[in-house]
Amino acid sequence: MAIPSRGIGWGTEENLLWQISKQLEYLSGITYNSGGGSGSGTNGTSGVSGTSGLTGSTGTNGVSGTSGESGTSGISGTSGTSGESGTSGLDGTSGINGTSGVDGTSGTSGESGTSGESGTSGTAGESGTSGESGTSGITGTSGTTGADGLSGTSGVAGTSGTAGVAGTAGTSGTSPSFPYPLVYGLFSQTSNSTSVTNTTTESSLVGTGVGTLSVPSNGFSIGDSFLGRIVGHISSKNNDTIRIKVKSGSVILGDTGLVTMPQTTDKHYTVDLNFTVRTIGAAGVASIATGMVFTYSKDASNAFEGYNSTIINTTTFDTTSTNTLDVTVEWGTADALNSIYSEYFTLNKVY
């Protein structure tokens, strides 16, 4: 029986069965003539599916390395001519679907192609680093030193020359006598003295301090020398007098005499003292030389003025008794404008 034409309105399952039937018809090469007649006859059973055609042999594999070209596809078989379609009868009731044909067996696989040629060898790897040098062998022992040769005989010593005449010895120098006289500080004033103001009483210009102004009996040596300096403030009435003395007890060592003062108002003054013991002993034997300089500045032009003197006492100075140094001042007139005091006084032994 001929396979009818595909009907309009078929479902998916009817279309699939129709396609399978057409393929079977193609494979069997049989065309059925469609019969005329009214009314749909029952569908005949589907023919047995033909065996699948043999699979074409597989082309040999290309040479390895570069890929071989693909083999050409086998020639497809020519399609059979389709039978003429019969006139469609009236749609009868759908027959029962036939069972699907058994799948044909698969063709045998083609033989494997021969293996391709091996690729060219890769470049050689770099050489490994050299191994470390072996340790040096032990040094052999040194040979023994040969014996020293015999020493030659010494030559005969020459005769000694005659000794020169010794020079005469020089005269010995005089040795210095020790100890030398000591040089040191004796006294340093550490506070202002009492101000001598508006009085004609002889008063001390020395304030309290450290050290001493006394030399014990028989404490002087010939040549002992001393240096003293007093610094302070002074005010004076014009044409009034002042007198400054250097004393040891009642013994006068230095004296300015009467000095007529200009007008000064709280000005600075200085008294420099120098002493040297010439001889030692009792009064009338001992002697001392004293120099003194009294300077000050006055109000007019702030100018410096002063007085200096030198006395050599050979009558009343006595080194066998204790001597205590003092510096005194005495105004000629008691006046409130006449005032003096010291701020600084040092005494040093300089020889």
pLDDT digits (tens, 9 = 90+) for 307-332: 999 999 999 999 999 999 999 999 99
- Give Dmax over CA atoms of the chain in angstroms: 202
Q: What CATH number does the domain containing 243 carry?
A: 2.60.120
Q: Into how many domains does the chain fold?
A: 2
Domain presence at residue 11? yes
At residue 94, the pLDDT reads 42
Instruction: Give me the count of residues in the chain.
Output: 351
Last residue of one domain, picked from the residues 49, 67, 88? 49
- β-strand partners of 339: 197, 235
**In b/e form, how buried is each residue of 266-287, taking b as 16+ CB within 10 angstroms?**
ebebbbbbbbbbeebeeeeebb
Domain presence at residue 239? yes
Residues 6-50: tens digit of each pLDDT: 777 778 888 888 788 888 877 766 443 333 333 333 434 444 444
Structure tokens that stand for 321 in this block: 């008794």
pLDDT band at 110 (very low <50, low <70, confident <90, very high): very low
Structure tokens that stand for 341 in this block: 């005091």
Domain presence at residue 317? yes
Last residue of one domain, picked from the residues 49, 65, 82? 49
Domain presence at residue 20? yes
* pTM assigned to the model: 0.50
Domain presence at residue 91? no
Burial classification of residue 236, based on how many CB atoms lie within 10 Å of its CB (0-12 exposed, 13-18 middle, 19 or more buried): buried
**CA dist list (Å): 34 to 20, 55, 74:** 19, 34, 35
Domain presence at residue 82? no
CB count in 10 Å sphere of residue 320: 14
Domain presence at residue 65? no
Q: 318 is in which domain, residue-wise?
A: 184-349
Burial classification of residue 291, based on how many CB atoms lie within 10 Å of its CB (0-12 exposed, 13-18 middle, 19 or more buried): middle
| Best mean pLDDT range from 22-36, 146-160, 267-281 | 267-281
Q: What is the mean pLDDT of residues 87-93?
A: 44
Which of 308, 313, 198 has the alpha carbon at shortest distance from 259?
308
